[in-house]
Amino acid sequence: MIKASLRSVATLAVAAVTATVAGVPVADAVPTHEVGDAQGLRTATAPAAKSTSGIRGKARMYFPAPGNHIWVTVDAHSEFGASPGIPTRSWGTFRIYHGFDQPGVPANWGDFEVDCLTTGGPTATVTGRLVRTTPGGPWEQAGYLKRHIRMGVSFYVAGRGAGPSRIGLSAGTPEGEPLLTRCMAPAADAPLIRGGYTLKDRVPTADHGR
């Protein structure tokens, strides 16, 4: 009789512990692995943050040889995802124009389709592939257009009182050498002497499924 009573008390105690943990009914608690799954689902379906960059403008850069006029026109944009240093998408164009004061010497120019724009503070780097150039000009003669060579431009867009803005230009790679790597350009070392650029660094935006 005593043993039976003890068994009854023990059974009731176990039932009480099973029914309540820290005052919360166990039947209402969510298993740990299900909580993790729910959190993962909420993370996966939340809008992904994106950021965008852009640079626009036209300017003439300093060139040490008299009688040379080098202008760079750009309208480039990029979109960034989880890795802010590597764009997920870049688009736009830029043009390099090289004119001369000498009579009878035609200007040399090239239009490039942007394949990378990266930005950081007042600096930007743009690369693109050559799609049009001066008919019969030096870049066509060198095979640059046929190979759609990649060239790069770096920009330093100075703020007010921060000195002159600057540009750096890469050269085209000769036949048999690899193309310039995307997103690469030399330091922006040549000051602007006319014109200028507007630079928009990466700004977070919401992705609404566009």
> In this structure, are 75 and 167 located in the same domain?
yes
- Whether 104 is covered by a domain: the verdict is yes
> In this structure, are 28 and 62 located in the same domain?
no
> In this structure, are 74 and 160 located in the same domain?
yes
What confidence score (pLDDT) does residue 48 get?
54
pLDDT above 80: residue 170: yes
- Give the count of domains, the chain: 2
> In this structure, are 103 and 177 located in the same domain?
yes
> In this structure, are 85 and 24 located in the same domain?
no
> In this structure, are 25 and 70 located in the same domain?
no
pTM of the complete model: 0.72
Pair 93, 76: CB distance under 8 Å? yes
User: Of 1-15, 58-72, 164-178, which gets the smallest average pLDDT?
Assistant: 1-15
- Whether 210 is covered by a domain: the verdict is no
What confidence score (pLDDT) does residue 4 get?
45
What confidence score (pLDDT) does residue 203 get?
72
Residue 13 sits in which domain range? 2-45
> In this structure, are 11 and 56 located in the same domain?
no
How does pLDDT run across 70-101, given as a tens digit for each residue?
Answer: 999 999 999 998 776 789 999 999 999 999 99
Closest CA to 75 of 57, 88, 87, 98: 57
